[in-house]
Structure 1
């Protein structure tokens, strides 16, 4: 079982621990865990998608995943499976990034963070399930000009 599957399994097993009465009415919150920076806000296949920094395992900062929700009206949100999780092959946490739509493809571009080294990775999906396009980051530290260290090389945005 990979880390994304583990996170989604944990999410399913534990999401009922927080009752709806304990949640804000008009603000998106995860079913369980900790959320932070919004990422990849996009309109795809007739719905608004919002991704966010997410630690499903605790109520504080920890191994960064991307949580995912969608809405048609910005009030009622459907929480979807974890979109990105730290990967055993790329070896890094999933920090901030962006999303873009290209036809029927939803493309996530994000920062892989590992021990102070930051690189950029890409996953492509159908709005629910996302797969990496490469076993390596697509923009690695060695691609940077020599005067750049790779520290704080993060938060890609597409205009």
Structure 2
């Protein structure tokens, strides 16, 4: 796996990212490959200096992705925090160590930006993901809550 490259995504990577996001039970129900809304979302992410949509590339193929948001805060003595979301590793790469390397890379990006903590959420149905994040030092210390805003 030494040939893996972690980098900021480009607009050309969006279809591969959406394919990764759609390649599981939860993602298949919510993602719509080919929807032009993804292009607008990518443009907004790319224009925001506190956002980083990143990919893992092996042999010229996108095999992983995640999104980092750098959040200024008043708590923790004004600490910045990194929020990691939309983490996916292609099915053929799972178990190879790529996910761990990608997460370590993401945490290093947070350190480089001066973040004092990193947080993430994972769906409660993703028991394997929860165990994986725990091996990286993440602790389920808070109860997260979300609501879907209807138009």
Q: Please classify the TM superposition score into its range, dividing by the shorter chain length.
A: under 0.3
Greater fraction strand: 1
Normalized per residue, which structure has more helix? 2
Q: TM-score, normalised by structure 1?
A: 0.27
